[in-house]
Structure 1
Amino acid sequence: MAALSPGSAVPRPVAIVGPTATGKSELALQLAEELGGEVVNADALQLYRGMDIGTAKTPPEQRRGIVHHQLDVLEVTETASVAHYQRTARADVEAIQGRGAVPVIVGGSGLYVQALLDELTFPATDPAVRARWEAELAVSGPLELHQELARVDAEAARKLLPSDGRRIVRALEVVELTGQPFSASRPEVGTPRWNTVLIGLDRDTAELDARIEARTATMFTQGLVAEVHQLLEHGLREGVTARRALGYSQVLAALDGEHDLAEAQRATAAGTRRFVRRQRSWFRRDQRVHWLDAADPALPELALQLLRPERLHP
């Protein structure tokens, strides 16, 4: 089953999405092996070079010889850009198809997946306007800015948490620059680009919580603190995105004396559980996703069944 598009020379991509710690990377490797594919990362933090342990990045020696794209393409001092990812990841997918291989997209960063597969446009940004709103955020806090957003764009305010200062700032910036609601830049969900098949993985909440606890503990015992020390030498503190990542921000706080490493580990696991809830909320809204139980022993075969044309086009 080297191609997913019947009667076509262009292989049909598959995207494996869902909450963190469900087993997406392993399934991606299994499908890439079975289909003759290459993996395209859709995890925003795995874009960063050197952020390996804390992002659960599959080590090169465990990639089974399968080519991976969109890994280790940013320095920790750089700010991840969804627009840049959209351009480069789309080019990767189409180059993979051009080689007759199947693109296997995998990751839990919902906006990145959507940017790749949907017609998501990115309004212009202005550093001066952004800086002014960020300064206002620092002085007044997210709640007050959320109230301002409700005044100028009620729909956007309803969709953004009052605590989500970063996205509130972006929404206010877009409204000021374009004169249009922030939601005007959101895509209409239709057929995904390249007619990609979306497979979602999830697990029982108690089971997933236990996996998160175990994975977090492993990260700390296998060198997350040493990884942070190494990244500090490469400018981690100067990075806007990287230094705020789960695990890394908690270790930085411990190194700064705000708490000890035991608390850093606890806070990382708790933060990851909260992140899982947001991921579920994001992906469960997408009716195109075919959901599978990641704990099912027959998972690879069930995923392959979903890719068969007769299942997708009854």
Structure 2
Amino acid sequence: MTGAPGLVAVLGPTATGKSDLALEIALALGGEVVNADAMQLYRGLDVGTAKLPPGERRGVPHHLLDVLDVHETASVAAFQRDARAVVERLRAAGRTPVLTGGSGLYVQAVLDELEFPGTDPGLRAELETELDRVGPAALHRRLAERDPAAAAEVLPSNGRRIVRALEVIAITGRPFRARLPTTGTPRYDAVLLGVDRDPAELDERVALRVDRMLDDGLVAETRGLLPAGLAEGRTASRALGYRQVLDALERDPDAPDLGAIREDTVRATRRFVRRQRSWFRRDGRIHWLDGADPALPDRALGVLREARRLVS
């Protein structure tokens, strides 16, 4: 395909088929895939994140997979720096970057204006101690008093995000909402493709995916990552599936309840899918495609051709 866009972003909820579509687009455009899934940054989080194995990548280079150890904390600011460096290197080499993932903030950190104020370790520690003592709901009420717009954007259960919002407000003296991404013309002349499916169908795909994860050794993979610090990792330990296995191992280290792991993971993943859909649906720049369409790759390439025609 001639006249390829400067970047293609393939995004949307979990289990819709983004990875396969990104691979097809990269093959068609002579491009390379850039990961924008926060949990696929981690070495060893393979089964539970549905990370595409090297043997199934069909020779297409994939970037920003397996770049963190499970005890390290993922940072949107670091991801923004690293992802933009990869994108710019690929563009300079005449290769089309295909950014793909379901972590909405990570995608926007690459495509949109998003500032990252510094941190205050003392203040952060104080807020995290308070979070452990009183829980996220109490801190969310404080955030609502200081910055109602930010509180409306941050889930009351997302303690880490609430702490960060309060920290930024204290450091900058400005509303945290002012630091959230604003959508406009995306960087790199990007075209954004969204993949979604009928909610009932996607719920079923989530359940089948969790079954496959358990069959493929999720519990054993989680156990194997304990010596590397998975349970202590502030980000990796929250990964869907791994969190549920860790909880089950804490209850019974010798015989974790697989039924409870399955039920809890399916329920948590379906909730996450709904949050992802809500996040992405606010972005009017996204061209939405049906992940169940047998002609999905052709539909996607048709959108890219039309987008290039309109801006040429």
Q: TM bucket by the smaller chain? A: over 0.9
For 1:75 and 1:3, the matched residues in 2 are separated by 38
Q: Does 1:219 align with 2:216?
A: no
Once the 2 structures are TM-superposed, how far is the Cα of residue 312 of structure 1 from its aligned partner? Answer: 5.7
* 1:242 paired to 2:225: no
Does residue 201 of structure 2 align to residue 204 of structure 1? Answer: no
Following the alignment from structure 2 to structure 1, what is the Cα–Cα distance between the partners of residues 18 and 307?
24
1:251 aligns to 2:245 (yes or no):
yes
State the 4+ residue runs in structure 1 displaced beyond 2 angstroms: 158-164, 309-312
Match of 1:141 among 130, 135, 139: 135
Match of 1:229 among 223, 247, 250: 223
Change (3 A) 1:177 1:312: farther
Mapping of residues 92-111 of structure 1, within 5 Å: 92-111=86-105
Give 1:270's aligned residue. 267
| Mapped contact 1:39–1:103 kept (Cα < 8 A) | yes
Give the distance between the partners of 2:152 and 2:45, measured in 1 at CA.
34
CA RMSD of aligned residues (A): 1.3
Q: Name the structure 1 match of 2:258.
A: 261
Q: 1:163 offset after TM fit, Å?
A: 2.3
Q: How does 1:107-146 map to 2 (within 5 A)?
A: 107-146=101-140
Partners in 2 of 1:277 and 1:309 — Cα distance? 30
In structure 2, the residue matched to 1:284 is: 281
Change in Cα spacing, 1:3 to 1:227, as seen in structure 2 (3 Å) is: farther
**TM-aligned CA distance change 1:88 to 1:311, over 3 Å:** closer
Q: Does 1:72 align with 2:66?
A: yes
How many residues align? The count is 308
Taking the aligned partners of 2:284 and 2:119, their CA distance within structure 1 comes to 31
* Conservation of the 8 A alpha-carbon contact between 2:4 and 2:308: no
Normalising by structure 1, we get a TM-score of 0.95
CA distance in 2, matches of 1:312, 1:264: 49
Tell me the secondary structure at the aligned position of residue 180 of structure 1.
coil
SS at match of 1:307: helix
Q: CA deviation at 1:170?
A: 0.9
* Displacement after TM superposition at 1:89 (Å): 0.5
* Structure 1, unaligned runs of 5 or more: 6-11
Cα distance in 2 between the residues matched to 1:105 and 1:207 = 25
Between the aligned partners of 1:38 and 1:249, the Cα distance in structure 2 is 31
Q: Secondary structure at the match of 1:313?
A: helix
Percent identity over paired residues: 61
Q: Using the alignment, how far apart are the partners of 2:275 and 2:294 within structure 1?
A: 26
Matched to 1:265, the amino acid is R
For 1:175 and 1:286, locate their aligned partners in 2 and report how far apart those are by CA, in whole Å.
Answer: 26
Q: Give, in whole Å, the separation in 1 of the partners of 2:83 and 2:307.
A: 29
Structure 1 position 310, deviation (Å): 5.6
Shift of residue 160, structure 1, vs aligned partner? 2.2
Matched residue type, 2:191: V
Query: What CA distance in whole angstroms lies between the structure 1 residues aligned with 2:152 and 2:278?
Result: 15
> Does the alignment pair 1:302 with 2:299?
yes
Residue-by-residue CA offset, 1:248-306 (whole Å, 9 max, x unaligned)? 01111111126612101110111000000000000000000000111111111110011
State the alpha-carbon separation in 2 of the partners of residues 161 and 79 from structure 1: 20
